[in-house]
């Protein structure tokens, strides 16, 4: 009996399917599909901040679409373009709940550390997982750093029946979830408050 090779075992079909999913995901990340998220609830910490201005930097190099997971491997991962436009709009809305009527304007510098898609083969159907990790630095207008750290999150859905809007929403959910992990920490906000109070005492507005 001859040995069955990858080309006769359905591997090309898996390659084609994987590339199709990746192409759809890249398109969703770049153009968006009207995805929206429910507002996240941040701790009630009295920050003297009139506004947070969010900026995003992504220095990663995203690779070309792979042919697919190697035969016999149950998952494959690729880096995706970060959904910057959708993220910025949602992030500004999220952080607005921390604004006060008066105070200082702070810059939130977000650097993309990881933004990727993993396609997991499963007997019940493929699972698509988005993982996002962000570096976050909060600075005053003069460049003084008040807070620095990271946030990460992941979302996953079944590939079966998933639309571009479903995929875009899950991807955006992971991206904003990473921001929520950071700003949703009461300890982080209280530490930021102490640093900001100290800064304002030495730099009266």
Tokens of 150: 């990271």
Fold observed for domain 6-202: Rossmann fold (3.40.50)
Tell me whether residue 114 is exposed, middle or buried, using C-beta atoms within 10 angstroms of its C-beta: 0 to 12, 13 to 18, 19 or more.
Answer: middle
In the chain, what is the greatest distance between 2 CA atoms, to the nearest angstrom?
A: 84
> What global pTM score does this model have?
0.81
pLDDT digits (tens, 9 = 90+) for 48-94: 899 999 999 999 876 655 555 555 557 778 888 898 999 999 999 99
pLDDT digits (tens, 9 = 90+) for 129-161: 899 999 999 999 999 999 999 999 999 888 787
Ramachandran angles phi, psi of 49, nearest 5°:
-125, 120
H-helix segments, the chain: 11-31, 84-95, 164-183, 186-202
């Amino acid at each position: 009996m001859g040995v069955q090779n990858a080309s006769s075992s359905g591997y090309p079909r898996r390659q084609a399917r994987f590339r199709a999913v990746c192409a759809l995901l890249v398109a969703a990340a770049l153009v968006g599909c009207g995805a929206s998220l429910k507002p996240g609830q941040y701790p009630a910490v009295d920050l003297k901040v009139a506004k947070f201005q969010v900026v995003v930097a992504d220095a990663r190099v995203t690779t070309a679409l792979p042919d697919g997971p190697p035969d016999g491997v149950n998952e494959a991962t690729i880096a995706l373009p970060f959904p910057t436009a959708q993220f910025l709009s949602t992030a500004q809305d999220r952080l607005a709940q921390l604004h006060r009527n008066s105070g200082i304007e702070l810059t939130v510098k977000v650097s993309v550390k990881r933004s990727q898609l993993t396609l997991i083969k499963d007997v019940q159907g493929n699972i698509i997982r988005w993982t996002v990790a962000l570096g976050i630095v909060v600075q005053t207008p003069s460049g003084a750093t008040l807070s620095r750290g990271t946030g990460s999150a992941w979302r996953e859905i079944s590939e079966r029946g998933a639309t571009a809007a479903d995929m875009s929403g899950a991807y955006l959910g992971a991206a904003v979830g990473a921001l929520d992990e950071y700003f949703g920490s009461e300890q982080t906000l209280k530490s930021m408050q102490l640093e900001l109070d100290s800064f304002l005492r030495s730099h009266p507005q």
